[in-house]
Structures are given as C-alpha cells and as structure tokens.
C-alpha cells in the first residue's frame, strides 16, 4: 500500500472522528495495550509434540482440512509464529497446551510433565517479548477415550488427570515467575456423554471434587491466574457436557476463579457479548476464547462479524478492558494456517478498535432520552465510518504490512517455507 495514501486517509479519518468527539490517536494507543494470546494449536491442528503422537481424539473437538505445510516440530511451529508476529501490529502472547512441551522426542506421560519441558518456550517467549498462557491437555489420550477425565468414576483415571492439571498449574506458575507476568492457566475438559445419561449429578459432584483438589495449592496471583471453560455440547458429548455454563459459573463465583467464555460454546442464538456485563458483576476477570462458529462450534477463523463486535463493544463500554484476557481459539486445517492466524488476529484487533472509536457518551445520552431511532441510526452510521483507515495507519506505524499487502507476504511464506515441508 502507498504510504502517503495511508497517511492521507488517516488524516481525514482523524478529522471525521474528531467531529464525533473521538480522538483516533488515543484509540490507537488503547489498541496497543490489547494483547492477544495466540493459540499455538492453529499451526498444527492441535497435534502437539508428544511421543508417540497424540492424535486428536476423545476431545469433543475436531479439525478438518489437510492444507499442506502444517508445523511438524517445535522449530517449525516457532518459525510460523515468528512469521505471524511480523504480520500483525502490537505485542501479543502465546497460548501453549501441555502437549506442546519440548519433550526431546522422549515419551513423557501427562502426569509427569515439568517446568523444564517448557523452558525452551520461556526462553523463546522472552526473546520475542511475548507473554505466555497455558492449558492442561485432557483429551487425545487413552485415559480420555471413554469421554470422562476429571469427572470420571474410574478413580485411577480421575487421579491421573488431577495430577496432570496440578502439574500444569505448577508449570504455569513457574512460567509466570520467570516472565514476571501472570500466566492464565485455562482448564477445559471434554467430559460428557453422547447419549442421554442418567447420572449427571455424580459426574458433576466428582468434577467439583477434582477441581477442589487441584486448586488446594495456592500460587501467587502475580504468577498464575486459574480459569475454567464451559461448553454446551461437543462431538461425542451431544447429550450432556459435565462442565456446563452453570457448573463453571457457580464454581468460578464461589472459588474466585476466572471464567473462560468461548463464544463457540453456547447455543447459536445466545450472544456472549450480552453475558459479559452480567458475569462481570460477580467475577473479577474473564478469559475470552474468540472463535467463529458456523452453525455449530466449528471453530472457523475469526472474522470481524456482529458477534465479535458486540463482545468488544460490551467490554469497552463496561470499561472492563483490564478485567478481560483475550485468547483466540480456532483451528482451520483447510487453508494456509499462517493466513488463518493473521486474518483472525487482525479481525480481533479491528473489533476492539471499532469499539474504541465509538462515541459511547453520545449513544448513552440518546438512550437515556428515549431517542431510540436516533440511537439505531447512529449505530448504523458508525459502521461506515473510516475505521479501516485508522487500522491501516496503526499497521503502518507498527511497521507491519498494511491492508492486502499481508496476503502477498503469506503467499511468499507458503512458497518459500511451508511447501518445502512436504518434500
Ligand atoms: C474445546 C475448547 C478448548 C480447546 C483448546 C484446544 O471446545 O474450546 O478451549 O479448543 O483447549
Ligand atoms: Zn475454547
């Protein structure tokens, strides 16, 4: 993109927004503070680096597509993320799953993992100024093949998973200490049943007990933040998911935990954006798993759609940016995976920028005066204001490709790097 044109367009946008009482420079400053946690699992379809390979299974999640160039080892995955970082403005975080440890081609059972397996990630993250977040991996494992982990009635299996998650917390706290930056450790388990169960109650009682055991150890909040993620249904858990919204919301409120809201984990007509202002009345901080469901929890690449806009608007309107951690959670193996990352990250950033550029004061006043046509008209007009020019300028200032220029960069990476991986 022509730099002078980007600057000119920004100058006009700045004037237009100033007319609405919005300072675009300030909006860009606010956007700089938004750190997005990049889910490492988009680069390799949730494969990880365990030996032997943990084939995605027993997890209530599914990746489709077989686009060439998938990262097959840690150097490749890091190389991909490093590329991504050159194509998006701002500073980000990296979100690791336990199966992505640096196991040096050795078999390390999940109840044996240690901080040392993640040391090379910590060193790498430091080099790139990235924060880290973490996730226990309670799926893709023989002990998850009957669909139950932390809520299992099989005590041997249950204690195995309790130990795994305990170790993940210890690792996460260790990472947080080394980086001097809290790590969000998010617990999602696939537990549930395909067909109508008769004993939901006991599974939920067991899950509660497992979580109590896991959280019995306290770690300093400056190093670790614990989060729990609910789900409505998954593949193979259509009839009941043990860790439902009610379950985890109750648990998080009672035990002072973060609640993770994955916007693919609700009924398609529910809006996560609407839930935020309710949950924030009772819970200090939330974690977002930003995704895009198409008809179901399909985890398509995030786009700048109504759902994402509402989520960002509601956070900004509630002045709750400091209480929200933003992570991405999608996996599309049918397109260039680096392109999937960058498109989704940019969409998430754009949603927050759009929210920062809203004249909320004017809109609130109209609402309080009962001028609801005017409110609606205003909201519609905002959709065609030149926020794209502001985002382009942010990219220019951040020294990353502006607009469609990033597409060519990814095409080049595909030719130079990704396609060579298949030889
Ligand atoms: C699955 C959950 C969970 C996973 C990751 C890989 O439905 O959304 O967050 O996607 O842990
Ligand atoms: Zn999720």
Domains of the chain: which residue ranges?
Answer: 3-422
Q: Are 8 and 294 in contact (CB under 8 A)?
A: no
Distance of alpha carbon 218 from alpha carbon 220, whole angstroms: 7
Residue owning the nearest CA to atom 3 of ligand 1 = 188
Residue owning the nearest CA to atom 5 of ligand 1 = 329
Residue 55 has pLDDT above 80, yes or no: no
Residue 207 has pLDDT above 80, yes or no: yes
Atom of ligand 1 nearest to the CA of 234: 7
Q: What is the mean pLDDT of the chain?
A: 97
At 316 the pLDDT is 98
Give the CA angle between residues 172, 176, 178 to the nearest 5°.
Answer: 115
Cβ neighbour number for residue 205 with a 10 Å cutoff: 12
131-149: average pLDDT: 97
Q: Are 69 and 418 in contact (CB under 8 A)?
A: yes
Place 60 in a pLDDT band, splitting at 50, 70 and 90: confident
HEC assignment per residue over 95-118: EEEHHHCCCCCCCCCHHHCCHHHH
Cβ neighbour number for residue 306 with a 10 Å cutoff: 9
**CB distance 41 to ligand 1 below 6 Å:** yes
Residue 79 has pLDDT above 80, yes or no: yes
pLDDT in tens, 244-300: 999 999 999 999 999 999 999 999 999 999 999 999 999 999 999 999 999 999 999
Distance of alpha carbon 131 from alpha carbon 129, whole angstroms: 7
Q: How distant, in Å, are the alpha carbons of 8, 35, 283, 346, 378 from that of 393? A: 10, 18, 36, 13, 24
Distance 229 CA to ligand 2 centre (A): 7
Residue 58 has pLDDT above 80, yes or no: no
Return the SS3 of 224.
Answer: strand
Distance 239 CA to ligand 2 centre (A): 19
**CB distance 263 to ligand 1 below 6 Å:** no
Residue 394 has pLDDT above 90, yes or no: yes
Distance 302 CA to ligand 2 centre (A): 13
pLDDT in tens, 312-359: 999 999 999 999 999 999 999 999 999 999 999 999 999 999 999 999
Atom of ligand 1 nearest to the CA of 264: 8
pLDDT in tens, 171-195: 999 999 999 999 999 999 999 999 9
Place 152 in a pLDDT band, splitting at 50, 70 and 90: very high
Q: Which CATH architecture has domain 3-422?
A: Alpha-Beta Barrel (3.20)
Q: Which residues are annotated as catalytic?
A: 188, 229, 231, 262, 265, 289, 297, 299, 329
Q: What percent of the chain has pLDDT over 70?
A: 100
Q: Which residues contact 296 (CB under 8 A, 6 or more apart)?
A: 268
Q: What single DSSP character describes residue 386? A: S
Q: Is 140 left (phi over 0), alpha (psi -120 to 50) or beta?
A: left
């Amino acid at each position: 993109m022509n730099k002078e044109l980007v600057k000119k367009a920004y100058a006009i946008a700045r004037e237009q927004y100033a007319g609405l009482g919005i300072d675009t420079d300030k909006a860009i400053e606010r956007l700089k503070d938004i750190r997005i946690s990049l889910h490492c699992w988009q680069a390799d379809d949730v494969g990880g680096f365990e030996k032997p390979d943990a084939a995605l299974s027993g997890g209530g999640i599914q990746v489709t597509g077989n686009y060439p160039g998938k990262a097959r080892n840690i150097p490749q995955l890091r190389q991909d993320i490093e590329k991504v970082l050159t194509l998006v403005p701002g500073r980000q975080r990296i979100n690791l799953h336990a199966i992505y440890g640096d196991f040096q081609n050795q078999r390390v059972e999940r109840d044996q993992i240690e901080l040392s397996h993640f040391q090379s990630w910590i060193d790498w993250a430091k080099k790139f100024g990235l924060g880290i977040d973490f996730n226990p991996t309670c799926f893709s494992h023989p002990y998850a093949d009957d669909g139950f982990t932390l809520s299992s009635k099989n005590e041997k299996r249950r204690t195995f998973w309790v130990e795994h998650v305990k170790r993940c917390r210890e690792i996460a706290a260790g990472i947080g200490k080394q980086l001097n930056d809290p790590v969000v450790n998010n617990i999602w388990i696939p537990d549930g049943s395909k067909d109508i169960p008769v004993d939901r109650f006991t599974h939920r009682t067991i899950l509660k007990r497992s979580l109590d055991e896991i959280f019995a150890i306290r770690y300093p909040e400056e190093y670790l933040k614990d989060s729990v993620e609910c789900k409505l249904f998954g593949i193979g858990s259509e009839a009941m998911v043990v860790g439902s919204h009610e379950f985890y919301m109750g648990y998080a409120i009672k035990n002072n935990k973060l609640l993770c809201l994955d916007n693919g984990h609700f009924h398609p007509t529910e809006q996560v954006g609407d839930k935020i202002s309710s949950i924030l009345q009772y819970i200090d901080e939330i974690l977002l798993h930003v995704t895009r469901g198409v008809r179901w929890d399909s985890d398509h690449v995030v786009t700048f759609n109504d759902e994402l806009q509402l989520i960002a608007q509601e956070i900004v309107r509630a002045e709750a940016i400091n209480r929200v951690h933003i992570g991405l959670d999608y996996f599309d193996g049918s397109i260039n995976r680096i392109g999937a990352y960058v498109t989704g990250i940019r969409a998430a950033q754009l949603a927050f920028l759009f929210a920062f550029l809203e004249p909320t004061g004017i809109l609130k006043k109209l609402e309080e005066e009962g001028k609801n046509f005017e409110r609606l008209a205003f909201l519609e007009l905002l959709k065609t204001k030149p926020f794209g020019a502001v985002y382009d300028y942010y990219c220019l200032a951040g020294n990353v490709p502006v607009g469609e220029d990033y597409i060519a960069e990814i095409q080049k990476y595909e030719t130079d790097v990704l396609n060579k991986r298949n030889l």
